[in-house]
Structure formats: structure tokens, C-alpha cells
Structure 1
Amino acid sequence: MLVNMKDLLSVAQQNNFAVGAYNIGSAELLKVALEECEKNNSPIILAIHPDELEYLTDEFVEYVKTRATNSKVPVVLHMDHGSNKNQILRAVKCGFTSVMIDGSHLDFEDNVKLTKEIVDIAKPLNISVEAELGTIGNLGNSAEGGASEIIYTDPKKAKELVERTGVDTLAVAIGTSHGLYPKWMKPELNLELLKEIKNEINIPLVLHGGSANPDNEIEEAVQLGVCKVNISSDIKNAFFQKTREVLRNNETALEPLLIFPEAIEEGKKVVKHKLGLFNCLGKADLYNNI
């Protein structure tokens, strides 16, 4: 069933689990994420970045909506990192049930102004809105964007932004980056800062750049109040590593149905592992009354 983010994450917040947001930049990656969540009776957020939407086209979204509507588990269709009004309006017209307006690159007042404008557009249409305060790093191998310097979220400013805009969820910067970390770099979350932010605001918190962080940190972040974790690079890495292996072993392969099945299964293993970290396994049963 297709739901919005507010309804999905209110249940997660009440029951102390997080829902994964998986970037679906192709039909194969949609199969990876949705089929594994259905198999494990877990709610899911299907995320599409504006660049991915430009590649996939609006018609692909129609297929995703049909697939989500017919699913036995709760599904949110989410615009990931929309950076301007036009991108958000496109998502609204396509039927997304949740949008993220990323004003983290703006100064605080402009971030508030843009976020409030999007809230005023989306809320009357029953579309949830996610904002971001602080910056997520970019390791140079992700299409989701990010900044060259991580600016940590100020808890007091986070409270002010939420109160002035009425957003449903807030993406916080506590030390993550989009993409895969090089071997010499040790990712580390500032969990004390997360506690401070949680003490200031009561809406569900979002962790972007959740790939490659230590499992114990992700689990603790969920226990501390993160209700949505974005996962992209970990799944794509597993998927395309296996794809390359299949092609090396069969250089004459031409049929997608012969090339991608093994890669899909590798991606699904990552999703299953993340569902365990998020305490999300079997949680779709909690949505029977929605």
C-alpha cells in the first residue's frame, strides 16, 4: 500500500525502529529493495533523486506507484534531495507521497523560507515534507550530492526550523557522507550530538549517507531516535560488483534476464542485513489499521 512519510514514520517512532530509504535508480534496484522488504514483511521508502528521475522519466514513476499500491507492505514514494521548487513540483505532479526539500546549502533564514514554502504546497495534498539542516559529506562516488565540508546540525537551530516550518521529518548532520568511504577513512557518528538534537525536537529524525557506517553505530542511532536511514551506495556496490563478475565470466551475455539475477540477489543480501540493523523485520504488521 502507498502511504505518506508522516504516517509511516509515526509508527516507527512509536515502536522504536527505523525504515530504510533505498534509492531505486533502475527497475533492477527497485526489485532489490521492494522484493526483499516484502519477503521480510517490512515497510519501505523508495527514494528517487532528481537526477535519477530525469534518467528514469515520469513514466517509470507510474510503474513504481502501481507496484507500491499493490504491495502487501507500506510503501512511501519519496523525492530525495530536491533542491528547488521546480523539482518538488515535478514530484508532486508525478504522485510522490513524500518530498525532501534540501535547503542545507542555503543560510538558515533562506532554508526556513524555502522549506516553509514547500510545506505550504505539499501538506494540503497529504504529501509529507522532509527538511535538512547541516551538511552531509560527499565522498565523490555518489549521485546524491553533498558538501565538501560537513557542517554539524545545531540542535537549537533544528528546533527553530521545525517550529517555523512544520516539517514532518528532519535530516540531521552528525558525521555521515554520501558514497563509499575509502579504506583509510574511518566513518564515525557523533551520537552525543544526536542525543542533543533528539532532546530538542520530537519529529522523526533522518540519517543520510547511511552506507558503510559501523553496524553498531547505526543500531545505536536507531535506538536514539533515528526513524529513517538512507541507503544507496552499499546496495549499488554489491549489485554492480556482481554484475561486473557475471560479465567477466560471460562476455557474450546480452540478455538482462541472464545478467542481472545474481546481482539482484547480492543487493537483496544488503537490504536484509540493513533491515536487521533498523529493527524493521516484520514491522509491516503494525500498519494494519492505516
Structure 2
Amino acid sequence: MLYNMKDLLKVANDNQFAVPAFNICSFDMLKSIMEKAEYLDAPVILEIHPDEIEYLGNHFVSVVRAYALNSKVPVVIHLDHGGTLYDVTRAIRNGYTSVMIDASTKSFEDNIAITKKVVEMAHNVGVSVEAELGTIGNNGSSEGGADEIIYTDPDQAEYFVNETNIDTLAVAIGTSHGLYPKGKQPKLNIELLKEINSRLSIPIVLHGGSGNPDEEVRESVQHGVGKVNLSSDLKSVFFEGIRKTLIENKNMYEPNEIYPIANARLKEVVDYKMNLLNTVGKAKLYN
């Protein structure tokens, strides 16, 4: 079942669960995530970053759409961190059902102006829009971020949402993209999240969901977070599985021999995150 983000997350917020958004960069990742989501009877968001689609090619989205349309669980195909109007229009043309325009590093006024353009274009064709306010940190991820986190201002968040008519808002409350280095302990500002949530009537998005304490992530769902972005947690175990297989089997070259360990490890992460966010079994709540 193919959904847009607005319809998917309304059910999630009404029923106090969140939906994980998994970045995919290969067919094996797509296949493994969908197999586990269907096994768990859980809705899922499949994210593709502009860098990922540049590598995979536009036709990859048709494969993702085929999976979603034939799936028994709700699926959103989402553009992660679109930085330009080109990124957004390319995604809409390719068949994404949700897009993110990330103008968070621009001035507040420019962020509003760019986001308004995207909302007008996307909403005309039933595509949901996510934007970002404040800046997420960066632990060396290609997904970007800032050296220092600029926390989302609740007053600005309320004004921004009212001005732009976006469907979801990514906020900066202490997370960073990428894997946290040893000794660096992330800390979510739950009190700030509560304040932002009290001002908004739309779902909140938590970027940089990998590596954060489970109890804080779980608590964030109780205060408006409907979508949690996950990339590094998946890619790290997936590609480590491939490396391990190839190092231990230097003459191996058949894909059906190389990928099973990586796929199994990725499925373990998907299972863990679905249970953490209370997503398991929630597909039955959708028509």
C-alpha cells in the first residue's frame, strides 16, 4: 500500500507510535527492509537521499514503487534532505510520495520562501512535504549537518509551520547524523521537544536517530515525534556483514552467497527499531 507522509503519520500520532524511516542504497537493503516490515505487519518509510538516487539512478524508484504497491503494509517513499528545487522536482517526477526540502542552513526568511515554493508544487500532486528548522549535528555523515547543533526555536517553529503549511517538521533537539564516536554521548532535549510539540499540530521528525539512547527515543514518541530517521545504524551492520563475508571467503563472487549475512544483520536492526518505536502490528490500523 502506497501512502504519502501526511496520511501515514496521522495514524501514527493518533495511536502513539512512530514509523522508522530507513535510508536505502541498494536492492538488497530494500528487499530486506520490506520482508521484515511485512513479517512484523508494520508500516515503513523508505528514504532515498539525493546522493543515493544519483548513484542508483531514477529507474530504481520504479522498483521501490512496485514493492510498495504490492505490499500488504503501508509504505511511504520519501526524499531525504533534498537541498534544491531540482532535487524535489526530480523526486516528484520519479514517483516519491513525500519530499523533504532542507533549507535549514539558510536564513529563516529564505527557508520559509523556498519551503513555500515546494509546498505549493508538491501539494498540487498529493505529495507531502517535510522541512527542517534548526541544524542537526554531523558525525562525519554524507547526509550533512553542522559542526554545532543550533536548537530549534519554538516560536520560530510555530510561525514557520503556519506560514509554510508543511506536513512534518524536522527539529534539532540534540541529535547528529552518522555514528557517534567513542566517548561522545548524545543527549536529547526532551523539554525543548515538549515545548515545540505544544505549539504544533503536525508530526515532528527526529533526524540522526542512530545511536541515541533507547529510552530518550521512546520518550520522544510520546511528545509528537512520528518519524525517526535511521541510516547509519543500518548501513554500518549491512556493509560490515559484506566485508566479513568477503574477507573470510576470498573466492566468493555469487550475490546469493555474499549478501545473506548482511541482509540478516540489517533485518535485526529493522526488527529492533520497529519494536522500539512501537510500530510492530500497526499496519492493521490503516485501510
TM-score norm. by structure 1 comes to 0.98
CA distance in 1, matches of 2:55, 2:240: 22
Partner SS for 1:125:
coil
Letter in 2 for 1:44: V
Deviations 1:16-58 (A, max 9, x none): 1000000011111112221111110000000000010100101
1:284 counterpart letter in structure 2: A
> What is the alpha-carbon distance in structure 2 between the residues aligned to residue 188 and residue 35 of structure 1?
32
- Aligned match of 2:210: 211
What's the Cα RMSD here?
A: 0.7
How far, CA to CA, are the matches of 1:37 and 1:208 in structure 2? 20
For 1:252 and 1:147, locate their aligned partners in 2 and report how far apart those are by CA, in whole Å.
42
1:251-270 aligned within 5 A: 251-270=250-269
C-alpha distance in structure 1 between counterparts of 2:164 and 2:180, whole Å: 34
1:8 aligns with 2:8: yes
1-structure distance, mates of 2:97, 2:142: 22
Matches of residues 21-36 of structure 1 in structure 2 within 5 Å? 21-36=21-36
Runs of 4+ in 1 over 6 A off after TM superposition: none
Alignment pair present for 1:96 and 2:83: no
Equivalent residues in 2 for 1:80-95, closer than 5 Å: 80-95=80-95
The yes-or-no answer on 1:181 pairing with 2:185 is no
Percent identity of the aligned residues?
57
Q: 1:156 corresponds to which letter in structure 2?
A: D
- Secondary structure of the 1:243 match is helix
> What is the alpha-carbon distance in structure 1 between the residues aligned to residue 194 and residue 82 of structure 2?
27
TM-superposed deviation, 1:215: 0.7
**Corresponding residue number in structure 2 for 1:128:** 128
Structure 2: how far apart are the matches of 1:32 and 1:176? 26
Give the AA of the match of 2:61.
V
Q: Cα distance, 1:156 vs. partner?
A: 0.6
Structure 1 residue ranges without an equivalent (≥5)? none
Question: Which residue in the other structure is 1:236 paired with?
Answer: 235
DSSP-derived class of the 2:80 partner? strand
Amino acid at match of 1:287: Y
Shift of 1:223: 1.4
State the distance in 1 between where 2:224 and 2:278 align: 12
Measured in 2, the distance between the counterparts of 1:30 and 1:170 equals 25
**Aligned counterparts of 1:227 and 1:122: Cα–Cα separation in 2:** 21
Q: Describe how 1:67-216 pairs up with structure 2 within 5 A.
A: 67-140=67-140, 142-216=141-215
Q: Distance in 2 between matches of 1:263 and 1:63?
A: 21
Which residue does 2:38 correspond to in 1?
38
**Alignment partners' CA distance in 2, 1:86 and 1:287:** 32
Q: Deviations over 1:92-138 (max 9, x none)?
A: 11011000000101110000000000000000100000010000111
Deviation at 1:233, TM superposition (A): 0.4
Task: Give the Cα separation in 2 of the matches to 1:40 and 1:143.
Answer: 30
Distance 2:34 2:103 in 1: 29
Once the 2 structures are TM-superposed, how far is the Cα of residue 287 of structure 1 from its aligned partner? 0.3
SS at match of 2:46: strand
Moved more, 79-88 or 234-243: 234-243
More displaced, 217-226 or 205-214?
A: 217-226
